[in-house]
Amino acid sequence: MRKRGIVLGLAAAVIIAAAGCGGQERQNTFPAVVMKTEKNADVQETESADNGQELSGEDQNADEAQQPDGTDADTEQQNPSESVVPQRDQSTERSIEQESQSAGSDMQHTSEGRNAGIDSPANKFVRNMKIGWNLGNTLDAHSDQNKANEMGYESDWCGIVTTKEMVDEIKAAGFQTMRVPVSWHNHVLADGSYTISEAWLNRVQEIVDYAIDNDMHVIINIHHDNSTSYMYPSKEYLEQSKAYVAAVWIQVAERFADYDEHLIMEGLNEPRLIGTSDEWWLDLNKQQCVEAVQCINELNQVFVDTVRASGGYNGERYLLVPGYAASLQGATNPYFEMPRDIAGNENKILVEVHAYTPYNFALCAPEESRSTDQWSADDKASTAEIDELMDTLYEKYVRNGTGVVIDEFGARDKNGNTQARIEFAAYYVAAARQRGITCCLWDNNAFAGGGEKFGVFNRQTCSFQYPELVEGMIQACE
């Protein structure tokens, strides 16, 4: 395998199984953007907060994301009806009772004659990934200026160095996948070759091995390297971006060439037009937004071509690619194209989506008027956006044979609303599993302060601060 060779949580899963997947009374269009920020302010005192987080929401957990003018990046949202999200065809709604036995007991969102692709090798692979956890705010930490000791980045945001004991506990809890976000730009030569520091690459490999040795799947990526100096999805910076993406993946793919399919490579994290009014809102009436999507298509292709040419298992391993900002809209808009793969590979490229939804509960800052700390699996208003998200991905990809991984999701702590978060996490995972989708929980080790408290596993104590939340997700996945 390696080289070569909780009562309410459970109740939430039961509720979704009884309710079925289709037939909501309310039609939902998704906001084009759901943002999330990154660093924990209590840990990171000296650096300014990172700009951005997601259209679907992502990882900077503490100081809220700021626009260049210093205002919150998550201010007035545009009308959700403006986003380009396919509406569900009511004539094709499926009942959860129409179950495909061949797809596995957790894959229940099917109907006769419309599910030819759900039993594809790619979808089987994704289902085998089960449930995942993010080592967030760790190897992805970065700054505008290089530290004197580059190894200090690992604990710069999360406050602690990763140990094998931590990963052992993650596996013991039932997680089968670990996502390891990695930022590279503070660890490459500035001569244009983008040569990665040997020490940094060794450390990435060491942490990957903690999980591989536990018989887990591992996702590694290019994370916070989205800038005009490295990777930026615009025509102006496209050639430079291609060079950077190719240079990083040549080195990373060669280092991990002998790792089997337990290692999954994710080309980019939330590629977007950072610093513009379109960073989190993909307005396809604007030429620069259309071009950004087209540039991401090209960058995804460079990633695939580079890895496939790197030898070893890289010719056949599963790869993950995002659309604009890794959002639902980014992966479903008419300009997004899946990369071409080499001959002999069928559906070896998976779709990556990040979705902190419903936004007002999962990600919106508590001090904002639209924020809520309430969520219930019994409430259609709570569950509708999750169901619509999963149905859209199922219709677009899963039933056609393409695997989908939601490799970031979660709900931040708001005033100790633990019970609501337990129900939310169990329902979310159950809804995904019933459509053949695997999810990875975002965890930034943040439990206090005024930032985004997405911490679940307390790395200082090497224990889960919210064990019921984890138990609910694991049960929903079984």
Q: Which positions are annotated as active-site residues?
A: 223, 270, 408
Q: Are 267 and 249 in contact (CB under 8 A)?
A: yes
DSSP labels, 310-324: T-GGGGTS-EEEE-G
| β-pairing verdict for 404-409 and 349-354 | parallel
Q: Please report which residue ranges of 80-232 form alpha helices under DSSP H.
A: 121-128, 153-156, 164-172, 198-212
Closest by CA position to 429, among listed 91, 71, 36, 132: 132
**Is the omega angle on the peptide bond into residue 358 within 30 degrees of 0, that is, cis?**
yes
Q: Give the Cβ contact number of residue 86 at 10 Å.
A: 15
- What values do phi and psi take at 25, rounded to 5? -75, -30
Q: What is the DSSP letter of 243?
A: H
Q: Which helix (H) or strand (E) holds 439?
A: strand 438-441
Specify whether the CB–CB gap between 35 and 59 falls below 8 A: no
Name the DSSP letter for residue 95. -
Report which of 203, 439, 414, 407 is spatially closest to residue 322, judged by C-alpha positions.
407
User: Which residue is it, tokens 């500035």?
Assistant: 190
**Under 8 Å between Cβ of 231 and 225:** yes
Alpha carbon distance 60, 40 (integer Å): 8
Q: Which two tokens stand for residue 32?
A: 């084009």
CB atoms within 10 A of CB 347: 19
Which residues in 264-294 are b (16+ Cβ under 10 Å) and which e?
bbbbbbbbbbbebebbbbbebeeeebbbbbb
Q: Is-contact 433 390, C-beta < 8 A?
A: no
- Residue 182's SS3 state is coil
Distance CA 360, CA 478 (A): 28
